[in-house]
Structure 1
Amino acid sequence: MAIDYSHQRPVPGSESHTMPHPHDDGDEDGRSDSDMSEGIVELSADEIPEYFQERGGRLFHSHGSCPYPLPVDAEEQQRQNGLHQLLRRLLGGELAVGPVREVLAALPGEQRRVLDLGTGTGSWVLDMAREYPDVRFYGVDIVPIATRYPPRNVLFEMHDIKEQFRYDTGAIDMVHARSVTMAIRDYGALLPEIARVLRRGGLFVSCEWGRRPAMADGSDVAARAPRALAFFDAIRSTLLERRGIQTVADRIPQLLADSGKFTHIVARTYHMPIGDWPDNPEMRELGREYREMVELYARSMRAVLLDGRWAAHADDLVQGYIDEIWSVPGLVSICHTVYARRG
């Protein structure tokens, strides 16, 4: 069962006790039918700390069944928020790939709904909610780190995405999943449930970063940036050995096809520069800012390395990667995007 931890902040001058509750969907959507197959339990403010644990000076989720390995503290939230803005710039100002505007276009008597999986700080949901004020947004995550005072068309909930969603079949117009592959062990098993809650013709959008560096000119990264490659090789092996997390970013289009539930599958990769080496001024600034996010990522990933057979070399691996992102021109991160329609 999902847990609602958001509360509406009273509007100045209004009677807060008469404000509709954020999960009274029937009233807010102007419809008598609900998109929920079951209710949600509200989490009080004093209960929120129970969902975290401290290890090695960093804060992590305390949900034992979820394999997600990264911290969820202020430093990691800074990285998530910064990366969100940089990715939007990389995508040409868009918040997601695909025919989003078409799918969310208003129709008389219809309430459009969007579900964001692994919402994290909620940055994507909040920006989308501003662009589509008449659309209802749901952001779910294993920990309550998004704002507890979202706009009226947003509801943040705690939910483990490997479990069944509370939404009725065909209730959702768009499902968005970004950077969720470290939160689940079997991505393919997630797709039937996504398909279930999507209406026919609804949109699924995925965005995942590859777990291997590359060179913009296609040259051998092992020769140009061996310490960066060693860092990611250690990360991939540790995630698989200790948590059962596979590298699937480039295989999601095939998984969608194999599920038999999606059509019009369109995949595209984007290259994010790491550092200020590009000639193009806009990309140079993007790469400079992204490098700061990469360094935060490397330091967060130290916790992953300490959990496996690379523990004795964790600091050297992290520092080696950081040294090369500051000294090797041409390094890029590959962002794998794909969108598909519910068949």
Structure 2
Amino acid sequence: MHTDTDDEDAYSDASFGFDNASGIASSHTSHDVSMRSASPVPSVRSISSSFRAQAYTHEYGRGLNNYSEVYRLPADDEELFRLDTQHVMFTKLMGKYHPKMAEVMVDDVPGEPKAVLDLGCGSGMWIMDVAKDFPNCSAVAVDLVPMQSLDMPSNLRSEVDDINLGLEHFYGDFNVVHARLISTGIKDYEGLINHIAFVLRPGGLIDLMEYDFHVYDENHRRVQVDTSAVEGPWWARWMAFANVAARQRGGDVDAATHICSWVRNHPMFEDVQYREFWIPCSPWKKDFPLDISMCMRDDILAFLKSGRPLLLGSGVPEETVRQLEVNAEREQLRASQRHYVRLQCVWAQKKHDS
């Protein structure tokens, strides 16, 4: 566990335009599959072919969302499998929930069931765990494409929306707001945190996790590479290209570096906690759990394929993308580089008097 050393960025309530009294959804692309409320409604167990066709587009051999030009990673079955496996890895590494989760979720307010919002839910594994572990709560999953699980609990609903367009329709409705690895699709992450402050009920928990699109050496120093050359170290080089491509799309790829200071400086949060996790990119570190490092390696191998639409769509030549992929895959399978991925996690509670 480490102490956050980022610059203290000043909080500004002008990050997003907001009206604390507003209950009107700001998104014109929102497709709520039921109703706009945190109340439990029957799960969506099937999606019509016409709705699915509207939600997806196909680029460079992968299925992507059809609503956002910022987030250009896939949303197809192959990507959902990667995210499912990634969720299992994260659970082994850091546990299922923050210790405060159980305390926040105690059913202690008559007539007001606890509610949990998962922003950028991906495959939905985390929010489905929540809905099952806390069966009296109301759970809402938001993403750019509808959840496809046939096993959605009855207290979970799926909403298709671009959260860049605002969260006003959720203000005051939730006890927990969770977001994991969504920075590439967020234009203004500090502004998103400001919205979350208003979405949470007093005492509610914000739970954020991001990584910074960089690779680190065995001494936790950033591997300094850029896109001016196409040479090893290959995984670090691929990440440099992905960083530039996501930034060109408008993604806030530096958010991981600042989320702790943004939350800490916000006047509506208290008890801010920060942890970072260093995961070997391949099974090179002998005193680290082998199953987790192998899972991280497999996640990276799948991510190399997931990133093709992002890189190709940003103008990187196909031959360059192929060269990066082939060599990064070989590097990972041989565990020839002693590299880490750095995950940065922030939790805080909304002040009771806010």
TM-score (norm 2): 0.80
**Residue number in structure 2 paired with 1:198:** 200
- Summarize the Cα distance change of 1:149–1:45 in structure 2 as closer, same or farther, 3 Å threshold: farther
Displacement of 1:311 in angstroms is 2.4
Query: Which amino acid counterpart does residue 340 of structure 2 have in structure 1?
Result: V
**Residue number in structure 2 paired with 1:287:** 293
Show the 5 A alignment for 1:141-152: 141-147=143-149, 150-152=152-154
Displacement of 1:156 in angstroms is 1.1
**Residue number in structure 1 paired with 2:264:** 257
2:341 pairs with 1:337: no
Query: Which amino acid counterpart does residue 142 of structure 1 have in structure 2?
Result: L
- Summarize the Cα distance change of 1:284–1:26 in structure 2 as closer, same or farther, 3 Å threshold: closer
DSSP-derived class of the 1:162 partner: helix
Displacement of 1:159 in angstroms is 1.4
Q: Is the 8 A contact 2:213 2:253 kept in 1?
A: no
**Residue number in structure 1 paired with 2:60:** 56
Q: Is the 8 A contact 1:185 1:246 kept in 2?
A: no
**Residue number in structure 1 paired with 2:250:** 243
Q: Is the 8 A contact 2:176 2:204 kept in 1?
A: yes
- Summarize the Cα distance change of 1:56–1:309 in structure 2 as closer, same or farther, 3 Å threshold: closer
Q: Is the 8 A contact 2:212 2:253 kept in 1?
A: no
In structure 2, runs of 5+ residues without a counterpart are: 1-24, 226-231
Displacement of 1:75 in angstroms is 1.0
C-alpha separation in 1, matches of 2:238 and 2:258: 22
Deviations 1:110-150 (A, max 9, x none): 31101000011111111122211122111111111342652
Show the 5 A alignment for 1:297-336: 297-312=303-318, 313-327=320-334, 328-336=336-344
Q: Is the 8 A contact 1:95 1:128 kept in 2?
A: no
2:33 pairs with 1:5: yes
Q: Is the 8 A contact 2:147 2:158 kept in 1?
A: no
- Summarize the Cα distance change of 1:310–1:113 in structure 2 as closer, same or farther, 3 Å threshold: same
Q: Is the 8 A contact 2:47 2:148 kept in 1?
A: no
Deviations 1:27-85 (A, max 9, x none): 99xxxxxxxxxxxxx9745322211111121111111x441010111111111111011
Q: CA RMSD in A?
A: 2.8
C-alpha separation in 2, matches of 1:228 and 1:26: 43
DSSP-derived class of the 2:276 partner: strand
DSSP-derived class of the 2:88 partner: helix
C-alpha separation in 2, matches of 1:238 and 1:57: 18
Q: Is the 8 A contact 1:211 1:232 kept in 2?
A: yes
Query: How many residue pairs align between the two structures?
Result: 312
- Summarize the Cα distance change of 1:309–1:202 in structure 2 as closer, same or farther, 3 Å threshold: same
C-alpha separation in 2, matches of 1:145 and 1:131: 19
Q: Is the 8 A contact 1:52 1:60 kept in 2?
A: yes
Displacement of 1:90 in angstroms is 0.8
Deviations 1:170-216 (A, max 9, x none): 22101001111111111011122111110122110001123111133
**Residue number in structure 1 paired with 2:136:** 134
Displacement of 1:219 in angstroms is 6.1
Q: Is the 8 A contact 1:295 1:322 kept in 2?
A: yes
**Residue number in structure 1 paired with 2:8:** none
DSSP-derived class of the 2:183 partner: coil
Q: Is the 8 A contact 2:119 2:178 kept in 1?
A: yes
Q: Which of 67, 70, 76 is the aligned partner of 2:70?
A: 67
Q: Using CA pairs below 8 Å that are at least 6 residues apart, which structure has the higher relative contact order?
A: 2
C-alpha separation in 2, matches of 1:23 and 1:48: 23
Q: Is the 8 A contact 1:96 1:205 kept in 2?
A: no
**Residue number in structure 2 paired with 1:25:** 39
C-alpha separation in 1, matches of 2:72 and 2:40: 37
Show the 5 A alignment for 1:163-182: 163-165=165-167, 167-182=169-184
